[in-house]
Amino acid sequence: MYNVAIVGGGPAGIFTALELTKLKPDWKIVLIEKGTKIEKRKCLLREGYEKCPTCKKCGLLCGWGGAGAFSDGKLTLTPDVGGHLLDYMERSKVEDLIKYTDDIYLKFGAVDEVFGTDKESFADIERAATLAELKLIHSPVRHLGTERSLDVLKNMQDYLSEKITILFNTSAKSLIVENQQVKGIITNDNQTINADYIIIAPGREGADWLTKEFADNNIGMVNNAVDVGVRVELPAPVFEPITEKLYESKLIYHSPTFGDEVRTFCMNPYGEVVAENYNGISTVNGHSYANFRTANTNFALLVSEKFTEPFKEPIAYGQHVARLANMLSGGVLVQRFGDLLDGRRSTPERIKSSIIQPTLKFATPGDLSLVLPYRQLTAIKEMLFALDKIAPGTASRYTLLYGIEVKFYSARVKLTNELETEGVKNLFAIGDGAGVTRGLIQASASGIHVARVICER
């Protein structure tokens, strides 16, 4: 029997535990995590494998720190990017939460430097973006880099392991709900964990489970937009005038043909493109490091589609598009932008003759027009030409496009302003897997918010 049980050892779950142990040091708290300790997480691709072996549990997605552990560790210090916390509380409260959360990251080893604080530089780039019909969102960024991110998360793991019970290689199978009040969790090994409060924070890796489990318990859900697109890779000097000042530029564009929103996401100056495995489906992402540089910069272009009734499966839609790319390429597909415009597939010979060499070595040259729906593909092309106006060279024929990048947010759980589920008492849902956030800092802040709510009760 525990006071609180937390499902998921990503930033949302970790920061819930950190705040609970601070406010209620005598409470019994258990955190269950599907993957391993952070020091045992590994990706076989990084150990010499030429192709992604599609492990049963992807080491880049599962384990302490969640999917963000092996990312480049960007803390976006604004309420306007990385989640929907402004839908649940006033801006001033979200800003205070972000500042409080950022201070905790610093306490556990994050670096002091913050990009994007020079208002004059931002104003110059914002003016150029406006002339190109792009909206630039002001987003100060603290960049840890993959190596430092792992160190910070390891420090948090060591700290919490002395204060709470952490069950690794353990996942939630089902919730125990009686009389519209949560009582506990049954794990994958049929262990029953009883608790006064349950916090569900499974991340994107567990979003599919959350959707199905909440549907079984008649917990309301609403459709989130589906984010599907590509990862763009180009020579680092193309975006250097922007990344040197802002590190990451959050740019939003509305496709003139269909009016769909396209946005840049997870920009990695001098970084590398990586593959991820979501339950046997290969997708792409990007990393960058504090002490290692490639010659390239990469970022995602995601097209957001908000579907209406009777559509209820945003995750299944993203999986379907990603599977098409896997079917054609055996994994991740890559195409030169010039080949896409010319209506021909890229070949190994064309990739080799380019001025830019892919950092994801095993991506298969192919044709994205056979994978992405016409509407999304049109929006991506138009966004690349718009970006070319503020970063000349973006729409080069040599620019590489990897497919598919998709963000598996579940349908968003219907929650109160305290992030408690509507209809089931003492059950809270936070982080990316609940559709509430989509970035490290807001996921972490959502955990702190819920911990405070529970302690006040």
How many whole angstroms separate alpha carbon 247 and alpha carbon 255?
A: 25
* pLDDT classification of 409: cutoffs 50, 70, 90: low
DSSP letter at 393 equals: T
Burial class (CB in 10 A: 0-12, 13-18, 19+), 272: buried
Quote the pLDDT of residue 223.
73
59 pLDDT higher than 80: no
Q: Which alpha helices (DSSP H) does 353-439 contain, by range? A: 374-390
Chain-centroid distance of CA 422 in Å reads 25
Quote the pLDDT of residue 146.
74
Quote the pLDDT of residue 68.
76
> Phi and psi dihedrals of 159, rounded to 5?
-65, -45
* pLDDT classification of 313: cutoffs 50, 70, 90: confident
Count of CB atoms within 10 A of residue 209's CB? 19
Quote the pLDDT of residue 211.
86
343 pLDDT higher than 90: yes
How many whole angstroms separate alpha carbon 447 and alpha carbon 69?
A: 17
How many whole angstroms separate alpha carbon 337 and alpha carbon 16?
A: 43
* pLDDT classification of 418: cutoffs 50, 70, 90: very high
Residues whose CB falls within 8 Å of the CB of residue 356, separated by 6 or more in sequence, listed in order: 233, 234, 235, 295, 296, 398, 399, 400
**What tokens does 370 get?**
């056979």
pTM: 0.89
Quote the pLDDT of residue 255.
96
Q: Write down the CATH superfamily of domain 2-115+141-221+411-456.
A: FAD/NAD(P)-binding domain (3.50.50.60)
The residue-averaged pLDDT of 182-188 equals 96
pLDDT digits (tens, 9 = 90+) for 141-175: 998 877 788 899 999 999 999 999 999 999 999 99
Higher model confidence: residue 329 or residue 280? 329
* Domain ranges across the chain: 2-115+141-221+411-456, 226-407
* pLDDT classification of 20: cutoffs 50, 70, 90: very high
Quote the pLDDT of residue 237.
97
CB 83 within 8 A of CB 300: no
301 pLDDT higher than 90: yes
According to DSSP, the β-strands at 364-365 and 226-235 are unpaired
Quote the pLDDT of residue 208.
83
* pLDDT classification of 242: cutoffs 50, 70, 90: very high
54 pLDDT higher than 90: no
CB 77 within 8 A of CB 141: yes
Quote the pLDDT of residue 45.
65
Q: Mean pLDDT: which of 50-59, 118-127, 275-284, 365-374 is highest?
A: 365-374
Residues in a beta bridge with 7: 32, 200
How many whole angstroms separate alpha carbon 165 and alpha carbon 316?
A: 34
The residue-averaged pLDDT of 84-112 equals 96
Higher model confidence: residue 439 or residue 311? 439
Chain-centroid distance of CA 149 in Å reads 15
